[in-house]
Structure formats: structure tokens, C-alpha cells
């Protein structure tokens, strides 16, 4: 008889590395974005792209897109830590929240890349709209992580930060 697969008890170093690398790049692209509307207009008009902001935003954002895809592949292949037994309602809600985050962190750079490389003016607004939803979800996610760790004192942060 086949035995049950072993339960994963923690995120791997690769998953932790990808979590923080993607978080850092998302934050950087949020702050290094001023003037992207004008840069897009110039790009669509066929003018050369000048300035550090559009070069960073497009290329770091494209690296981010690749890292998010890698992160999702690792997640599908290796899973996430599970608590034994039936999931509580709060654990199910956290799972849904994580998949919403994955969806938004994939859609935001994908729509940005579609706009820039596809030269599609129409998807630019959608990129910014989805990005705003991503930022709100991230704030909720970080607040919940801090609440769990410091108020509920369940050491949740230790899952993503190698704390002693």
C-alpha cells in the first residue's frame, strides 16, 4: 500500500529567497515608476527611451515577472507548510489570501510587460489598477503576518524570516 506523502513543515530556502526577492522588486518598482505614463507615450511614438526610471521599471519588472513564474512553479511542485489535521476557517482564509497575492503579483508585471512590449496603450490603465489592488493586498498580508507574530505570538514570521 502506498504511504501518504510526508507533510512539509517549513518553506525551503529557495521559497524564502524568492519571497523576499519578489517583495523587494515589487516595492522598488512601486517607488521607481514616476513618469512611466510619459515614457510609454514616447515609446509608443517611437522615440528613444531616456532616463533611469523607464529602464529600471521595464527591466527590473521583467526580471520580477520571471521570478514570480519561478516562485509559482516551485510552489506547485513543492507545496507549502501544512499544519496537521483539518484546516481552520482562518487557515483557509489565509490560503485564499495567498492565492490572491500570487494572482495579483503575476498579473501586475504581466500587464506592464504587455503594455510596454506589445505597445498597447489600452492595457496601461489596467496595469496601474491591478497594481493598486496588489498594494492593498500586500498591506493586509504584512499586517496579518505582524499581528500573528506579535499579538497572537504564534511565531508566524519565523516561517519566512530565519529567526532563532
Question: Given candidates 160, 162, 163, 164, which one binds ligand HEM under the rule CB under 6 A?
Answer: 160
The torsion defined by the Cα of 15, 103, 145 and 9, in degrees rounded to 10, comes to -40
Question: Given candidates 16, 42, 70, 101, which one binds ligand HEM under the rule CB under 6 A?
Answer: 101
- Rounded-to-integer distance, Cα 164 and Cα 156, Å: 12
Q: In the range 136-155, which residues lie near ligand HEM by CB under 6 A?
A: 138, 141-142, 145-146
For residue 145, what are the CA distances in angstroms to 32, 86, 98, 154? Answer: 26, 21, 12, 10
Reported residue count of the chain is: 164
Which positions touch ligand HEM (CB under 6 A)?
Answer: 19, 22-23, 26, 29-30, 33-37, 40, 57-58, 61-62, 64-65, 75, 80-81, 94, 98, 101-102, 105, 108-109, 112-113, 115-116, 124-125, 127-128, 131, 138, 141-142, 145-146, 156-157, 159-160
Amino acid at each position: 500500500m502506498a504511504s501518504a506523502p510526508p507533510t512539509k513543515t517549513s518553506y525551503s530556502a529557495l521559497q524564502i529567497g524568492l519571497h523576499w526577492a519578489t517583495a523587494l522588486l515589487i516595492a522598488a518598482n512601486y517607488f521607481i515608476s514616476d513618469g512611466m505614463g510619459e515614457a510609454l507615450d514616447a515609446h509608443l511614438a517611437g522615440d528613444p527611451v531616456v532616463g533611469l526610471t523607464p529602464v529600471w521599471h521595464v527591466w527590473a519588472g521583467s526580471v520580477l515577472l520571471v521570478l514570480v513564474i519561478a516562485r509559482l512553479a516551485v510552489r506547485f511542485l513543492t507545496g507549502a507548510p501544512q499544519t496537521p489535521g483539518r484546516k481552520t476557517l482562518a487557515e483557509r482564509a489565509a490560503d485564499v489570501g495567498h492565492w490572491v497575492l500570487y494572482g495579483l503579483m503575476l498579473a501586475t508585471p504581466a500587464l506592464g510587460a504587455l503594455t510596454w512590449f506589445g505597445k498597447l496603450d489600452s492595457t496601461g490603465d489596467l496595469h496601474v489598477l491591478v497594481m493598486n489592488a496588489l498594494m492593498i493586498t500586500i498591506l493586509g498580508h504584512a499586517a496579518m503576518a505582524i499581528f500573528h507574530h506579535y499579538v497572537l505570538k504564534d511565531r508566524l514570521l519565523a516561517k519566512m524570516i530565519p529567526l532563532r
